[in-house]
A = this chain, B = another copy of it.
Amino acid sequence: MASKQGVTIRDVARDVGMSRQTVSRVLNNGPNVKPSVRDKVNEAIERLGYVPNISARRMRGSRSYLILAINDRQRTFENWRAGRGNDWVDQMLFGGMTECEKHGYHMVFELIDTDPTKAQEQLFKVISELRPDGVILTPPHSDNSRLTDLLKDQGIACARVGRREGGEFVDVCMDECGAGQRVTHHLVERGHSRIAYLAGSPDYGTSVMRLDGYRAALSECGLEFRKDWIGKGDFQFDTASVVAHNWLYGADRPTAIIADNDQMAFAVLHTVERVGLRIPEDLALISFEDTPGVRLCVPPMTAIRQPTAAMISRACEGLIAASSGEDASGVFEAPFELIERTSTAPSFSHS
């Protein structure tokens, strides 16, 4: 086994004939360092290949240069078990890294249980071990006040994904209501006036907001709001299949369906095929979420693409700023995108 530690700050200090503290000041862009000295130190750092050791930094220092990203264990497990596609963590990693790299931060990912009490215990353990500068909570943990309380108590900055209350935290989200409006307008622009909405759960703030957007858009376009065209789904495939079947079997059927998540959109897709209709000729279909599957199924589905990477990137930015002493709390709304694919292509023949 070779040397466990290479060049230290003392080696650099010795090399330039300065004290450790001066080198430390250069590293941290501290004030009161003569420019010529700063250059000399930087040159030596480069030449010797010195890289500060994160563990040592966080010992006496106040920063750990770590951002902890929390995901839900059960959801992750379930996605894995069901073989259901999910690139959530991929997106988090991508978004987080773009920001963390700039400031020399690193991302640690951890899974914790859905159960609020267990979650709290587990989070306590992890933050005690790692002492990260910031923690990113993703749904459903962004809604667990035990966790935010714990973090507040421990003096660790916290970012919540999917919430928009702000207050003392860094909240990142997207404009769910606007997305609901956008998809509705998208369909209206393509000639649809008979648009049904397959809703998720009223327990989810996001669902409610999206539905609001749908209603707003309908009224903006002077279209009738039909209660029987609000499907009560639960984000699951089976329930959605039943709803879709009822809508599509009759003569008074909608010409477009908006599904609150991808699982339900797939349910519609399969139902359409069973009933003998075609997408997009007989029915336009649009989904939120834009998980991997919707992009590759036949036909590819138009969907709202959640700005996961952007949200996480912003969360990291806020947390890093917070650990530098700035007040980074507030709400950040990342812009979503409507990805147009075949399922709402204009081949639809209304009239």
Assess the B155–A129 pair: CB atoms within 8 A.
no
Assess the B53–A83 pair: CB atoms within 8 A.
no
Q: How far is the CA of A88 from the CA of B129 in the complex (A)?
A: 27
Assess the B83–A90 pair: CB atoms within 8 A.
no
Number of copies: 2
Assess the B93–A76 pair: CB atoms within 8 A.
yes
Assess the B155–A2 pair: CB atoms within 8 A.
yes
Assess the A293–B298 pair: CB atoms within 8 A.
no
Assess the B80–A94 pair: CB atoms within 8 A.
yes
Assess the A94–B109 pair: CB atoms within 8 A.
no
Assess the B106–A94 pair: CB atoms within 8 A.
no
**A28 interfacial contact with B, CB 8 Å:** no
Residues of A within 8 A of B (CB): 1-6, 49, 51-56, 58-59, 62, 64-65, 71, 73, 76-77, 79-80, 83-91, 93-94, 97, 104, 106-111, 124-126, 128-131, 152-155, 262, 266, 269-270, 273, 290-298, 305, 309, 339
Assess the A296–B298 pair: CB atoms within 8 A.
no
Q: Which residues of B contact A126 (CB under 8 A)?
A: 106
Assess the A290–B51 pair: CB atoms within 8 A.
no
Q: Which residues of B contact A109 (CB under 8 A)?
A: 93, 97, 107, 109
Q: Which residues of B contact A77 (CB under 8 A)?
A: 94
CB closest residue in chain B, given A272: B298
CB closest residue in chain B, given A301: B296
A155 to chain B, nearest CB (A): 4
Q: Which residues of B contact A65 (CB under 8 A)?
A: 129
Q: How far is the CA of A126 from the CA of B108 in the complex (A)?
A: 13
Name A297's contact: one of B76, B94, B296 (CB within 8 Å): B296
Assess the B85–A131 pair: CB atoms within 8 A.
no
Q: Which residues of B contact A84 (CB under 8 A)?
A: 292, 295
Assuming A106-B110, A108-B106, is B129 touching A83 (CB within 8 A)? no
Q: How far is the CA of A325 from the CA of B259 in the complex (A)?
A: 54
A169 to chain B, nearest CB (A): 15
CB closest residue in chain B, given A325: B1
Assuming A93-B109, A94-B77, A128-B53, is B295 touching A273 (CB within 8 A)? no
Q: How far is the CA of A5 from the CA of B77 in the complex (A)?
A: 32
Q: Which residues of B contact A1 (CB under 8 A)?
A: 155
A126 to chain B, nearest CB (A): 7
